[in-house]
A = this chain, B = another copy of it.
Amino acid sequence: MPEPLRLGIAGLGTVGTGVVRIVQRHAKLLEARSGRPISISAISARSRDKDRGVRLDSYAWEDDPVALARRSDVDVFVELMGGADGPAKAATEAAIATGKDVVTANKAMLAHHGHALALAAEDAGRVIRFEASVAGGIPVIKALTEGLAGNAITRVMGVMNGTCNFILTKMQHEGLTYDAVFDEAAKLGYLEADPKLDVGGIDAGHKLALLAAIAFGTQVAFDDMELEGIERITIEDIELAADMGYRIKLLGVAQMTGRGLEQRMSPCLVPDNSPLGQLESATNMVVLEGDSVGQIVLRGPGAGEGPTASAVMGDVVDIARGFRLPIFGQPAASLTKAKPSRASIPAPYYLRMKLQDKPGALAKIAAVLGDAGISIDRMRQYGHTDPTAPVLIVTHKTSRSALETAIAGMTKTSVLVGEPVAIRIEAV
């Protein structure tokens, strides 16, 4: 009779409760697949008395997650509390120090401390697995770290914050303003306590930073990421982009370039007939590109009890099966510190502006673009009743610096009303 793999679960929110539910419901299935039983020794959460709809009385209780992590009857510490620092980090460190493997859904902790934790874990001969921290139920860490291990990864992209995609697609379908849909998302409980984590792109940025580290063999570098949220996206931009055959997505892109590692989490235009363009509501999508495999697209639920608990249990079964690999796919000590690069890859841009309705206004703007070496792919001037003319330009591929030069030049002309809006068009 093989020894059971014994879990200690810290955090009994929806995900923690979901994990307990799977362990209870699928005991036989998990044992058949793992070659050993999977059991729960102890749990820890903020409130002991809350009714979570699942029986917990056969598990030991710890008020302190650090004490849970140190228990001798725990083989795997399952960290589902969240938070970049504080108890989650303290308990994870305690687990590693006392010889436990760790499974976590905590993207913030790993985005900020992943490299240090990986070094500590590998030093101690332990693994940290974090499938649940990126794109919920989609086994994307596994696909990237293991399935595509024979590839030099060329690019990783993803729509990895369901709330942002919900807001953007809802704005489009119902012609609503950002503020209106934001309020609805808040009412539905879709937003983090600090909404900036969602709509500011931070949560999705954490996820992209983890994927980039695996993809390019580099130390997690969330602080080097170019980060822009969706707060400034207007219904006008969504509708004009749609008119040109595009959708606006909060898109993460990580790519190793000749100048360094480029990591961007920002609103981008993507073609409306691409898989990313067709992604609706809170669903997540990750695109992995490798030199041999070409392009792989993974789509699925990015959050919620079942999907996230599924990802946690995938990691648990891997550990039960004896799979051991470096935290980021190669030894942490061998991960390089990537030089950050900002938008060095040329791209077409969407430019929206308002011009004074005077003869020669458009010619001036076109001249400024030409002077910056930017050629125009498509231009539309829309009908208007007020004295400013809405103008939309799609450029050919250009560098960011040329674009910035052009925008500075436009601002100096006397014909521009307000600031122009520039959004990158990503080739997907």
Question: Which residue numbers of A lie inside 8 Å of B, CB to CB?
Answer: 18, 22, 26, 29-30, 32-35, 131, 137-139, 142-143, 146-152, 217, 273, 275, 278, 290-301, 304, 306-307, 309-314, 316-318, 321-326, 329-331, 334
Tell me if B294 and A297 are in contact (CB < 8 A): no
Tell me if A152 and B29 are in contact (CB < 8 A): yes
Tell me if B147 and A312 are in contact (CB < 8 A): no
Residue of B nearest to A322 (CB): B324
Tell me if B293 and A33 are in contact (CB < 8 A): no
A297 surroundings in chain B (CB, below 8 A): 297-300
- 9 closest Cβ contacts across the A-B interface? A150-B313, A139-B147, A149-B317, A293-B310, A292-B306, A137-B293, A296-B300, A292-B310, A297-B299
Separation of A152 and B34 alpha carbons in the complex (Å):
14
A301 surroundings in chain B (CB, below 8 A): 293-295
A324 surroundings in chain B (CB, below 8 A): 321-322
Query: Of the candidates B142, B151, B298, which one forms a contact with A146 in the assembled complex, judged by CB atoms under 8 Å apart?
Result: B142
How many monomers of this chain does the complex have?
A: 2
Separation of A314 and B326 alpha carbons in the complex (Å):
16
Given known contacts A18-B292, A292-B306, is B146 in contact with A314 (CB within 8 Å)? yes
A330 surroundings in chain B (CB, below 8 A): 32-33
Tell me if B298 and A296 are in contact (CB < 8 A): yes
Shortest CB distance A40–B (Å): 14
Shortest CB distance A415–B (Å): 42
A146 surroundings in chain B (CB, below 8 A): 139, 142, 146, 314, 317-318, 323
A273 surroundings in chain B (CB, below 8 A): 278
Separation of A149 and B139 alpha carbons in the complex (Å):
11
A331 surroundings in chain B (CB, below 8 A): 32, 35
Separation of A318 and B330 alpha carbons in the complex (Å):
13
Tell me if A150 and B293 are in contact (CB < 8 A): no
Tell me if B152 and A217 are in contact (CB < 8 A): no
Separation of A142 and B146 alpha carbons in the complex (Å):
9
Separation of A29 and B152 alpha carbons in the complex (Å):
8
20 inter-chain pairs at a CB distance below 8 angstroms, sorted by A residue, are A26-B151, A29-B217, A30-B149, A32-B217, A32-B330, A131-B147, A139-B143, A139-B146, A142-B143, A142-B146, A146-B318, A147-B311, A149-B313, A150-B313, A150-B314, A275-B275, A292-B307, A294-B301, A298-B299, A322-B323
Shortest CB distance A323–B (Å): 5
Shortest CB distance A141–B (Å): 9
Query: Of the candidates B143, B150, B314, B334, which one forms a contact with A149 in the assembled complex, judged by CB atoms under 8 Å apart?
Result: B314
Separation of A137 and B296 alpha carbons in the complex (Å):
8
Other A-B pairs beyond A149-B314, A294-B304, A295-B301, 13, CB < 8 Å:
A32-B217, A32-B334, A33-B149, A137-B294, A139-B143, A142-B142, A148-B310, A149-B317, A150-B309, A150-B310, A150-B312, A275-B299, A298-B298
Residue of B nearest to A307 (CB): B293
